[in-house]
Amino acid sequence: MNPEKFSAKHVLWSRLLKSVLLWVALLAVITLPAVIAASSPLLAWRDPVYSASGFAGVLAMTLLLVQPLLVGGYLPGVRKLRGRITHRWMGAALLGAVVIHVGGLWITSPPDVVDALLLRSPTPFSLWGVIAMWTTVAAALLAVFRRRLRITVRTWRCVHALLVMSTVAASTAHALLIEGTMGTVSKVLLCALAISATCWAVIDLRSLSGITRWWRR
């Protein structure tokens, strides 16, 4: 066999194997928290609305991991342009998951949601949840009204990145402080990966270049 052809095939199979392993690992990280939550005894006596609200929260956390991978073009087989288009749709899905999560909690326990929104809840995780909710809404509105705001692309990317980083940080604190249906190990792993992916994308895409240039002045 021609050594060059053998080398080319070896590289091709190595890339294919790497892509498959990355997709399998990502799917495992995404689905494991949902599977653990579905089998949690804490949902045994809960009504369907509360359960749906909890699963919406799990979905939101998984989307926080997927979003930077899409916009950065880090997923094998997904080109940057297609990844960024999908990123927009996943952003809408993320906002919808947040709405379902908060709406379900409102239906099942309105006083707790009111206390959380008014920042007078005695539970620390409620504060972080409210921060994550508003930063998610702000990031979505900024994306929708980007052209009407008439700001530069650099400024938009910088503000959007700051809002996203705040969302991921607040969501992580919110999730880790809750003794809920998600397994501890899977929850910590998902949060750690979401933070790592977000930071990597922000650094790699130089989304905060506007701040760094301003700081150096």
pLDDT digits (tens, 9 = 90+) for 78-91: 888 888 899 999 99
106, pLDDT greater than 60: yes
Residue 46, CA atoms < 13 Å, CB-side half-sphere: 22
Average of per-residue pLDDT across 58-62: 95
The domain of 95 spans 3-216
Confidence of residue 214 (pLDDT cuts 50, 70, 90): very low
Q: Write the pLDDT tens digit of every residue in 123-137.
A: 899 999 999 999 999
- One-letter amino acid of 30: I
Count of domains observed in the chain: 1
More confident residue, 44 or 138: 138
Contacts 24+ apart (CB under 8 A), 83-88: 88/143
* Report field, pTM of the whole predicted structure over 0.85: yes
> How many helices (H) does the chain have, and how many strands (E)?
9, 0
The residue behind tokens 């409620």 is 126
> Do residues 72 and 205 lie in contact, with contact meaning Cβ atoms separated by under 8 Å?
yes
Q: Does 44 have pLDDT greater than 80?
A: no
